[in-house]
Structure 1
Amino acid sequence: MSYRQIKWIILIVPSIIVGLWEFVRHQFLIPYISMGLGNFITPVILFVVSVTLLYRLFALLERVQEELNVERAHKAELEAREQLARELHDGIAQSLFLLSVKIDKAERQMTQAGAEGGLDELRKTVHEVNRYVRQSISNLKYPGDRSEDGQVTMGHRVGHLAEEAQVHAQVSWNLDEDGFTAREQVELLACIREALFNVRKHASASRVIVNGEGNRQAWHVDIRDNGTGFRNKSYLEDRDKYGIKIMRERTEEMGWNLSISSEEGSTLVRIESRKGE
């Protein structure tokens, strides 16, 4: 039943019922019901209709209105995401692509001039940033799964991140997201994305388990793979490990703890926060 139909029923039904009552009353019940008693019965009938039929119709109307509001909010969110994706594509992504082309051209000119190439590090950084920006554009354009109340949950987004990273991930998400700010959700998902991409690039893993537990006051997220692992802790301090460095910067800025431990055949990345500490 549509919103308009419900409104018309609410407006018409009381009038029809009162009209039928008055017709029956004056045509058949005048000898049995006095004028005073009839005038008393009329509001009683209206009250009974209101607490039975009309009450249910108003509840249905509120539910339909809430669904319409959720749909409008969803549409507004999609339009905002599409606008942001378009701005990223027209601005940052195009500029990064042009910069990478100029770096390649400069390196070719240096090679032809006999100079030693010194742009490898810069080119690698630009290509990495370009990849992140294009992944962000793709995420903005993708609407994502929604829970029963129409909200996109972090658990759903983690599943999509695993698909993007092209890793076989088992997601167990029991993290209560109430109270998390939009920025906290963005930063946490960015760290999980980086951990998943590191698994694909470096771990040679066939399986990843992503587990989120806790609430706003105390929570942790574990990303565990069954890859090769590493024995030397200095591996984490390698200047080429941009992803780990970015994760550390993000977690430190948010006041979270990041720990990375490894043994042969397994690596565990844990992001956690305890408000009481």
Structure 2
Amino acid sequence: MQLKHKIVALSILPLLLAVALICALVIVQNQRLGEEQVRLIENAILSSKRAELKNYVAMALSVIAPLQAGGQDDAQARRQALEALARIDFGQDGYFFVYDTRGRNLMHPRQAELVGRDLWNLTDPHGLPAVRALIESASGGDGFQRYAWQKPSTGRVTDKLAHVVMLEPWGWMLGTGIYLEDVEQATRQVREEVADGIRSTMAAIATIALVAVLLVFAGGLALSVREHRLADSKLQSLNRRIVHLQEEERSRVSRELHDGISQLLVSIKFQFELAGHQLEAGQSSGLVTLGTAIERLGGAIGEIRRISHDLRPSLLDTLGLPAAIGQLASEFEQRCGLAVVYRNGLPDARLPDGVAVALFRIVQEALTNIERHARAGTVLVELEPCMNGVQLQVQDDGIGFDPRTIEQPQEGIGLRNMRERVEHLGGRFSLSSSSGHTGICVILPVPAASAAGTSFTL
């Protein structure tokens, strides 16, 4: 996955996840509030219906009260009471019913086929033994019972709320009920409104999320284009720096070869030619001239070794970093006349090639800067292990400088190049400078298994 795609993905995925969580919370909260509203409406309607049913039952009791008072054990009084109750109705589906305590129907004005039948074990579609539950509610409950029963006007089985009482002298259960289709309709309407609200809310959230995703995508695309251009610019600048560094290094080597080796070789050539002429002429000074030429040839060989050592020190490959830095410090001390203190605390183990080369080049660059700019008298180079890595410190007692100047483009290589080497290897670079003291501290990590066949234990 390309970087721009990663940026867009990391921007959009959390947004989509947040939107999904918000949608889930909205759905759950709306459903919970909808169910609470349904319960409130249902309870309110049922409360009014309970009060209405109590009034109906009280009215029926008042109708049969004279018959109960006049003949509790009179069969005719009971028959008259049943006839009177059968004539009472309220609306198309409002009627009274009577059962004995064993579940036998004694009166049902809407379903005459049930009269005289034992309905003790009759169950509604929900599995509730309806008549038994009515009798139990009348005997020991609050007198209200909800169950499913056939509605006379439609012939369909519908939920019904009944209120029943016991007529103790006769052993009857008297009751009436109201069908709850209006309750079901009201609750269904509330649930539909809640569902509509959820759908409209989801549509609004989806629209907002789509707009946000498009904005994030557009912003990510613009950022990607900007970063791409910036990366191209940095890459071009880096390429220019690499070319500049290559040309600078070539120019340095060319100058050293031309001004040093070339001049020495020309001088040696003249010395050999002079020695040849002198020896041909039988002059004893030819041997002296030949000795001088041989001495200068040794100097040329030493200069070639120095240039070769600057390009890639052989000690770094043969004896390792500590020895290479020790030789570099010794040559620097001899060449510049400064007092160099070198402290090596590393164990005898070979560092990874990249770490070793980076530390060597940093010491080399630091000593070059000290030679050119510091005006120092003493230099300290310290190499020691640290937690999971290697620490290098180079300090001098020179005039110091402003560390902020290292970030300026005109500085080229040097201190900024050191920082880039360290950052490339995942290390830390710190610099401090004031009058009388300048120091750099480099910490580079050393992987546990970075070099095959060697170990580096800190």
The interval holding the TM-score normalised by the smaller chain is 0.3 to 0.5
TM-score, normalised by the number of residues in structure 1 = 0.46
Higher relative contact order (CA 8 A, sep 6+): 1
| Higher Cα radius of gyration | 2
TM-score between both structures, scaled by the size of structure 2: 0.29
